[in-house]
Amino acid sequence: MGRSVSIDLRIPGLRSNVYRVLCALLEAGWSYDDDGHISYLPVGDRGDFDWQWADLDRWPDVLAAIKVKEERGELVGVSLIHEETGAGGEFLLDAREELLMICLTINTRDIQTVPRFVDFTWYLERLVPAISRAGFTIECVECCQH
């Protein structure tokens, strides 16, 4: 039986700063290199979650699409992988709700002494400081494993 693992962060001010938060995560060791390609939600995706793939050298084009999505108030989605460990998942930035939702689907990190239980602290230690350094506060954190 599979498991569903997620982290939601409510970030006041995200509304017009999706690009800035995404750049802060990239500067903190997260990468858009998802097994040799970029996975992202295209402009105009209306909740269909029709993930697209692009070659790594197309990052400027994907960034341009992210900026358009931010301007339109669309849900921004991109897969990010932590460079040191290969752990990551789908990062969804909802400007309207000021929410960063992360579905942990790639090489999920478990607590070493308690296998099958996600080490949420590991993720938070790599997310919260990056967002804080970018000048944002986190109002609420919700970690969930099913």
Q: Quick one: average pLDDT of 141-145?
A: 97
The answer to whether 131 and 141 are in contact (CB under 8 A) is: no
What whole-number percentage of the chain has pLDDT above 70?
99
Q: Quick one: average pLDDT of 81-90?
A: 96
pLDDT tens, 29-45?
999 999 999 999 999 98
What whole-number percentage of the chain has pLDDT above 90?
90
The answer to whether 23 and 139 are in contact (CB under 8 A) is: no
Q: 47: pLDDT confidence band, cut at 50, 70 and 90? A: confident
The answer to whether 41 and 51 are in contact (CB under 8 A) is: yes
H/E element holding 21? helix 18-27
- In sequence order, what are the residues at sequence separation of 6 or more whose Cβ sits closer than 8 angstroms to the Cβ of residue 79? 32, 34, 38, 39, 40, 51, 88, 89, 90, 91, 106
- Per-residue model confidence (pLDDT) at position 106: 96
The whole-angstrom separation of Cα 106 and Cα 36 is 14
pLDDT tens, 104-131?
999 999 999 988 899 999 999 999 999 9
The whole-angstrom separation of Cα 121 and Cα 123 is 5
Q: Quick one: average pLDDT of 61-72?
A: 94
Over the chain, what is the mean pLDDT? 94
**Has residue 66 got a pLDDT over 90?**
yes
Residue spans per domain, the chain: 1-17+30-35+75-140+142-146
Distances (CA, A) of 69 to 28, 76, 108, 116, 131: 23, 6, 28, 36, 20
**Has residue 58 got a pLDDT over 60?**
yes
